[in-house]
Structure 1
């Protein structure tokens, strides 16, 4: 009973974390119009959650190991639910932005502690099944968010936040059965690393938001971007000197690991941008929130279903082949989205979206395993935390950067005020709508180019094969293989495993 309840609590919470991004994206135009929010205020409804989430995943994992996974998990879920409930009754967009930041902190605690709870509560084949369900929960939350939000939209934008709060409350009740666990040997939290990384990500997001309204050459925009550089440099210096770094920079010496850390940007960047801004684009052409959500179905369904076939896929093809094929499909689908236009038939974009979704699903099926396989076995935990941080960082920057580019490029054809209205999905003059559509075409082409670059980097970095793992499949180095390689190399140049 306790194990099942623990699994249920983590799976429900894991479903809600991406749901809290893709669901509100559908009702964001209604929220902006109802609260008469500025472009910056509206963007931070998404950016605050994403940026804080990305900045705190590794830190929350350290706190969970040190002070107790059950404590951190339940605190995260409770804070997530409370913040969502307060958003549902708030009438001030600044307060909503602050609460979304609090929610991002809670999400970081939930995902870090939740994974550790599952690892502690399960073993053997049950653990394999449970972590497969965990991946499906994340994919399901991403896919279901737009559809559920579209159904709820006629009841008002607040309804989606209420439903998420209720779901989080259910997860909190189930989490009462979670057994406490901790790692007494865990080092003290890397507070300087946390502060520097979080500050750099926040200022980078702030720079993108400022550029949308004030322009890329505005002094404040330039100051925000410039201030990011010393913070990132300081973060690297601190992590290299630390005996127990939060983010082990030394692992980037391996080409395979570096490619795996870059791959989330070419995969999740496009998914996040399309999930947030395609509903806005479709609604600006006259689609209802539910209609916009239904038009996104070809994108979302493969993201959910393809990872469920991961075992069969990896039995037929190498991890390298799947990791390259995913971004290639994303690129092909992105280029195909050029056919979209405001008010055009949903069938015009169905095939390209299906191809993009299949590419994302392929990558999701093998990315996590590949990231862990690219390092010695004793570094697997660090690799997993770093990979999740990069994945969430990619999503955060995708939302902020895409909004900034769309606003500034659309404003070149109309005005900043009209460009902001278009990006927020409000009713706009026909000329503004066409300008926004043209610039969205530029964005999807850029996403395709980014995906192709990811495919080429991955193909080059993973060109060396390793022997099959104990399960007989390539791409999963055996502990003995990794350990043997490590023993023959000095600690200053720790080898990485390689993904086939």
Structure 2
């Protein structure tokens, strides 16, 4: 009798693409949900502006520090196995974040989420690289990129609805059912792939954690501890820093030394024929090397505005979280439109042309946002530049990934994916740290100057400035409720800080556009030329389960 027909392998992998994109959605939506929910967290847990940055940064820091290690581990232990483990860990950490009773525990839960995210992202890329070929790979990357671009803006809408209608805690709790769906779908549709010969570089992994940890610590805490000289005695648990020199330059020095040692260690292992966390031989592939530089620089400015804009909308214009998410929906619409267009033109236009057009559109959009921001601004003026900005993100994200990985051998795709993802995440971490510092430092300086012009005593001026900056802008509404005249100055200062932050992001994007000038169109993908004669394929487990 005839056997029941099972879904074809071709159909299963396209379904699998949807679930892989769902895994990416988890980490992207969560990181953007938090931006909209932060004002509610500030009010509920009473966290400071420095803690606000840490809620964002500890996630990105853990993410960036472990991407290279987990990319290599995925190649050795199994890409599907690592991705599902990451989704499970991410869901568990989301529960801890939803139940956090204090800012410190929320930051700890976000760090664990970052570890889960680092397990997910490079494995999604290496699975796509191992599963799809030729023009199909371009379509798969376009879907992957549209997920990142679109969910980066749909996240605030979902987070706004959950925060306004229920609680900011549900913004984390939603990850649990979504994670369960992704795990089940991936196990049913994606075959395991791995490279058993891959070796793990533990020394390089430790050096990368120190490198990124000290760098981001210095950028975030510099305005609190002092960039050169210590402002006060600083306590780290039971240890107290009493030196006149601030710990910030020490952190930067440790980061620089770690970078040099990591490069020397990687070169040593490469010459000895041993695998290293940072495979310097990959950088001999021109598209990979130059593409990573562009990815890092562009990421410095790409999503930084998502940190400051929700704070400005809620604390200056008085929006609730849901209205904030609705405004940011314009970014999502632009990103979806552009990603669909990029997928349609995949293989017809050089990817680097699309990347440059996307970066240029991002610059135009973010400059428009900067000019639309003001204490009495109408929110409608934000919609066109947000759409243009999202359009640029949608064009650039997936195509840049394709450029970076197009000439990398499949058997090294996990490590290459981890490297390019690290470049993006390091850029994002540095961008959020720098733009957050620009936002709060310029807000404080502008407000102090304004209050000085009004003749406010120095003690009262410092108290107002500290209240606005330390609360990440939440104190502005309190001034209004108390009938204090400082509310107008505070709103204007926070608007100025948001504007300076946006212009700084545009500057980083301009540098990325300049860097892309050295990024050629590259060769067509290796497998397009060699499919007819056969190519080495990744190791596929015979049992798909």
Tell me which interval the TM-score lies in, with the shorter structure as reference length. Answer: 0.7 to 0.9
Matches within 5 A, 1:390-409: 390-409=423-442
1:262 aligned onto 2:272: no
Q: Supply the distance in 2 between the matched residues of 1:253 and 1:116 (Cα, whole angstroms).
A: 20
Relative distance call for 1:69 and 1:265 in structure 2 (3 A) is: closer
Q: Supply the distance in 1 between the matched residues of 2:418 and 2:401 (Cα, whole angstroms).
A: 10
Q: Is the 2:78–2:192 contact (alpha carbons within 8 Å) kept by the matching residues of 1?
A: yes
TM-score (norm 1): 0.85
Q: Supply the distance in 1 between the matched residues of 2:47 and 2:343 (Cα, whole angstroms).
A: 46
1:333 aligned onto 2:371: no
- Tell me what 1:318 maps to: 350
Relative distance call for 1:29 and 1:256 in structure 2 (3 A) is: same
Q: Is the 2:49–2:472 contact (alpha carbons within 8 Å) kept by the matching residues of 1?
A: no
Q: Supply the distance in 1 between the matched residues of 2:105 and 2:419 (Cα, whole angstroms).
A: 31
- Tell me what 1:387 maps to: 420
1:449 aligned onto 2:460: no
Q: CA RMSD in A?
A: 2.8
Q: Supply the distance in 1 between the matched residues of 2:184 and 2:282 (Cα, whole angstroms).
A: 39
Q: Supply the distance in 2 between the matched residues of 1:257 and 1:121 (Cα, whole angstroms).
A: 20
CA deviation profile, 1:15-74 (whole Å, cap 9, x unmatched): 111111101110101112211113332222111111111121221122122223343222
Q: Supply the distance in 1 between the matched residues of 2:395 and 2:131 (Cα, whole angstroms).
A: 28
SS in structure 1 at match of 2:471: helix
Q: Is the 1:422–1:433 contact (alpha carbons within 8 Å) kept by the matching residues of 2?
A: no
Q: Is the 1:9–1:175 contact (alpha carbons within 8 Å) kept by the matching residues of 2?
A: yes
Matches within 5 A, 1:268-417: 268-285=299-316, 286-314=318-346, 317-336=349-368, 337-373=370-406, 382-412=415-445, 413-414=447-448, 415-417=465-467
Q: Supply the distance in 1 between the matched residues of 2:132 and 2:138 (Cα, whole angstroms).
A: 9
Shift in Å, 1:160: 0.7
Q: Supply the distance in 1 between the matched residues of 2:354 and 2:136 (Cα, whole angstroms).
A: 25
Q: Supply the distance in 1 between the matched residues of 2:467 and 2:375 (Cα, whole angstroms).
A: 20
Q: Pick the aligned partner of 2:472 from 414, 422, 425.
A: 422
Q: Is the 1:211–1:408 contact (alpha carbons within 8 Å) kept by the matching residues of 2?
A: no
Q: Supply the distance in 1 between the matched residues of 2:396 and 2:336 (Cα, whole angstroms).
A: 12
Q: Supply the distance in 2 between the matched residues of 1:128 and 1:321 (Cα, whole angstroms).
A: 15
Q: Pick the aligned partner of 2:255 from 207, 221, 228.
A: 228
Q: Supply the distance in 1 between the matched residues of 2:276 and 2:528 (Cα, whole angstroms).
A: 23
Q: Supply the distance in 1 between the matched residues of 2:191 and 2:347 (Cα, whole angstroms).
A: 35
Matches within 5 A, 1:2-401: 3=12, 6-118=16-128, 129-154=139-164, 155-177=166-188, 179-186=191-198, 188-217=199-228, 218=230, 219-243=246-270, 244-252=275-283, 256-285=287-316, 286-314=318-346, 317-336=349-368, 337-373=370-406, 382-401=415-434
Shift in Å, 1:379: 6.2
Shift in Å, 1:406: 1.6
Shift in Å, 1:169: 2.6
Q: Is the 2:151–2:332 contact (alpha carbons within 8 Å) kept by the matching residues of 1?
A: no
Which structure has the greater CA radius of gyration?
2
Q: Is the 2:146–2:398 contact (alpha carbons within 8 Å) kept by the matching residues of 1?
A: no
Q: Supply the distance in 2 between the matched residues of 1:324 and 1:116 (Cα, whole angstroms).
A: 24
Gaps of 5+ in 1: 470-475, 482-500
Q: Is the 1:52–1:105 contact (alpha carbons within 8 Å) kept by the matching residues of 2?
A: yes
Q: Is the 1:422–1:432 contact (alpha carbons within 8 Å) kept by the matching residues of 2?
A: no
Q: How many residues align?
A: 471
TM-score (norm 2): 0.79
Q: Which has the higher mean CA deviation after the structures are superposed, 314-323 or 89-98?
A: 314-323
Q: Supply the distance in 2 between the matched residues of 1:236 and 1:124 (Cα, whole angstroms).
A: 33
Gaps of 5+ in 2: 1-6, 231-245, 449-464, 479-486, 531-545
Relative distance call for 1:106 and 1:375 in structure 2 (3 A) is: closer
Q: Supply the distance in 2 between the matched residues of 1:314 and 1:8 (Cα, whole angstroms).
A: 19
Q: Which has the higher helix share?
A: 1
Task: Identify which of structures 1 and 2 has the higher relative contact order when contacts are C-alpha pairs closer than 8 Å and 6+ apart.
Answer: 2
Shift in Å, 1:124: 7.2
SS in structure 1 at match of 2:47: coil
Relative distance call for 1:374 and 1:430 in structure 2 (3 A) is: farther
Relative distance call for 1:9 and 1:63 in structure 2 (3 A) is: same
Q: Is the 2:138–2:346 contact (alpha carbons within 8 Å) kept by the matching residues of 1?
A: no
